[in-house]
Amino acid sequence: MKRTLFSPEHEIFRQSVRAFFAREVVPHQERWAEAGIVDREVWRKAGAAGLLCPWLPEQDGGPGGDFLHSLVIMEEQARVYESGLAISLHSDVVVPYLASFGSESLKRRYLPGCVSGDIVTAIAMTEPGTGSDLAAIATTARRDGDHYVLNGAKTFITNGILCDLCVVAARSESGDNPHQNLSLFAVEAGTPGFHKGKKLKKMGMASQDTSELAFEDCRVPADNMLGPPGGGFLMLMQKLQQERLVVAAGSQAAAEVVLADALKYVQDRKAFGKPIAKFQNTQFKLAECATEVEIGRVFLDRLVEEHMRGEYLVKECSMAKLWHTEMVGRVVDTCLQFYGGYGYMLEYPIARAYMDARVQRIYAGTNEIMKIIIAKQMGL
């Protein structure tokens, strides 16, 4: 079906984004995967090219675009099978907390650097003892004069090594209600007591610097709190909808790219004297994949439209995160089979896509959590 989501201006932007990835990302992917981290300089180049926080208003130092510009970037990044350069995490998950809940002084201090790539961000919610259950966060923030003193440990933090600024969820208030004593803090790298731990080895996303973080008597200015004291849980609930939409969008784009490449591959690969595209099993399986991808695209584009209108789409974003991440797993697994042994080789992008797809069902809230949220929204 023909897409109507983007304007001609967005498509012009797409061409510049595509050129950026071809020039600044693709030649380095193998080296980045071996190193387990992307070059720091690529973030500044992305900023100079207008790829960071494209939706941020001009008065805050941004380009003045919209979320569709971010969606273009997600789609073009998927097109080159790049999962290590965590642009969407920075631009569309972390920075919105600063833009929406930061004081004017914090926004002036940090947002221009987030746009230029001089500041790379991360968000620290997950802890060794708790994942999707935000109410169980154990990191504490004790008020001490004009500062809060943070103590605790975080894990599975994307951009954990490269980050210059981290949004940290910690318990700052007393009381038994875990939903009313959580606060968010903007913590700069280099702050005494803020320790970046080891870079974690993962099954997929080889060039993404996922790490542990630790806070030991880390003194953070009270002015670096985002929003009101104890307001962290509500802020997370508000912004997690876009995070889940971002995951769904990345999954959809990945499924489309994998399917397109598989369609080309089955035309060339032969078995028993003819292209495997001529076998009924190949045709039926790829028809099933194409149907899922087409349905996913229509639902996602409609959801993006409503999200941009300011609709609060808790159920729908949870559904998208659940369904699209499951869908990309099915599509990638089906398509990989057509490559035979080559599909198991890391030099083929399909192998990397297979490993990268698995985590989509885990982060931004596991798919089991998505089912709980959906059920509650249904009144169950």
Task: Identify the three-state secondary structure at position 140.
Answer: strand
Within 8 A by CB and 6+ apart from 318, the residues are 244, 365, 370, 373, 374, 377
Q: How far is CA 145 from CA 148, 220, 222, 228, in A?
A: 8, 11, 8, 17
Q: Torsion over CA of 217, 154, 176 and 174, rounded to 10 degrees?
A: 20
CA angle 76, 82, 86 (to 5 degrees): 90
Distance CA 154, CA 126 (A): 6
Label the pairing between strands 147-157 and 140-144: antiparallel
- Are the CB atoms for 83 and 207 separated by under 8 Å? yes
Q: Is 58 a catalytic residue?
A: no
- Could you tell me whether strands 165-171 and 121-124 are parallel, antiparallel, or unpaired per DSSP bridges? parallel
Give 296's contacts (C-beta < 8 A, 6+ positions apart).
252, 255, 323, 324, 327
Could you identify the residue written with the tokens 């630790």? 214
Secondary structure (DSSP) of 66-106: -HHHHHHHHHHHHHTT--SS-HHIIIIIIHHHHHHHS-HHH
Half-sphere exposure of 50 (CA within 13 A, CB side): 18
Cα separation, 13 vs 22, whole angstroms: 14
- The residue annotated as part of the active site, out of 75, 212, 243, 256, is 243
Which residue numbers are catalytic?
A: 243
